[in-house]
Amino acid sequence: MDISVQTLDGKSAGEVALKDEIFGLVPRVDILQRMVRWQLAKRQAGTHKTKTRAEISATTKKMYKQKGTGRARHGAKSVPQFRGGGRAHGPVVRSHEHDLPKKVRALALKHALSTKAKDQNLVVIADTALDAPKTKALKERFAALGLGNALIIDGATVNDNFRLAARGIAHIDVLPVQGINVYDILRREKLVLTRAALDALEARLG
């Protein structure tokens, strides 16, 4: 599969051939769903916590005598029935992570890339070099390229001027190639790869 390469100014910079084993797969929704679920579960903090009745500081003296009052039997005030008491079966600190094989994760990334290529939402640019970190000028270039909602993947390092200019633009994410992931690819309309990012991905996944 061949795709044209553009510059940030919208000019042609030749063509590049995309590997079918990375960008030409038939997307499988089940694999993408498993990967997104794994990513979202992995990033959950799991620090939510409520106190149980054993952790409540309250008197343990019996509230009133067991029999003869016509009321329900009660002991300590720390039980869940009373205001200020502990919570029954409340959340505890835990990890939400679950296992997903590395081969499935790599396959999911290929399917995400193939999804963008199939929907013609994949853009390849020569590089992200800028002379100055000017957000307004970069926003105009993005508008000319049709990039209103995009994930931009650069090489091992992101050009500082480009990173500074792009961080103030809504719905635009910029990542180095090491940070590419399925969730961010799918949550943005367009996927933009530099030549350096494309070479690194093909070396990694090929």
| pLDDT tens digits along 2-33 | 899 999 988 888 899 999 999 999 999 999 99
Residue 206: pLDDT band with limits 50, 70, 90: confident
> 153: part of which helix (H) or strand (E)?
strand 150-153
Average pLDDT value for residue range 55-61: 90
Residues 136 and 191 in one domain: yes
C-alpha separations of 127 from 8, 45, 155, 193 in Å:
8, 36, 9, 9
8 A C-beta contact, residue 80 and residue 53: yes
Full-model pTM: 0.83
| 96-124 tens-digit pLDDT | 999 999 999 999 999 999 999 999 999 99
- The count of domains in the chain is 2
> Both 85 and 185 in a single domain?
no
One domain, residues 160 and 135? yes
Residues 68 and 170 in one domain: no
Compute the Cα dihedral for 135, 176, 116, 120 and give only its sign.
positive
Task: Look up the domain containing 173 and give its range.
Answer: 2-45+97-205
Q: Are residues 151 and 164 in the same domain?
A: yes
Orientation of helix 195-205 relative to helix 102-118, angle to 10°: 140
User: Quick check: 49 pLDDT over 90?
Assistant: yes
Q: Note whether 8 and 38 are same-domain residues.
A: yes
Task: Write down the mean pLDDT value for the chain.
Answer: 94
185 and 147 in one domain?
Answer: yes
Could you tell me if 31 and 104 are in contact, meaning their C-beta atoms sit under 8 angstroms apart?
yes
**Predicted local confidence at residue 55, as pLDDT:** 93
Domain match, 157 and 102 both: yes
Dist CA 160 CA 158 (whole Å): 6
Q: Tell me, yes or no, whether 10 and 68 share the same domain.
A: no
The fraction of the chain above a pLDDT of 90, given in percent, is 91
